[in-house]
Amino acid sequence: MKFALKPNLKRLGMKTERVGLHAFRHGLGTALCERKANPATVQRILRHSDIRTTPKYYVHSDLDARRQALNQL
């Protein structure tokens, strides 16, 4: 954190407050879902006991992802 993650975030001009390695779990959950991974598989990878936890807290979509999903219809 102190010697690698935060200095690199600063170099990229990103915020470093309240940043931790836990953010990588959120990124992994989002990336897996964007690649159409089965929600139960994502739940197991992230080791959540309740499947509702995964999409509620660990899967994030940005505006482009929402547009792309709608355009696919």
pLDDT, tens digit, for every residue of 42-57?
999 999 999 999 999 8
Residue 40: Cβ-neighbour burial (10 angstroms; 0-12, 13-18, 19+): exposed
Q: How much is the pTM?
A: 0.69
Percent of the chain with pLDDT over 90: 51
Average pLDDT over residues 11-18: 89
Of residues 2 and 70, which shows the higher confidence score? Answer: 70
Contact 9, 15 (CB under 8 A): yes
Neighbours of 29 (CB within 10 A): 24
pLDDT at residue 40 greater than cutoff 90: yes
pLDDT at 28: 94
Tell me: pLDDT of 2 over 90.
no
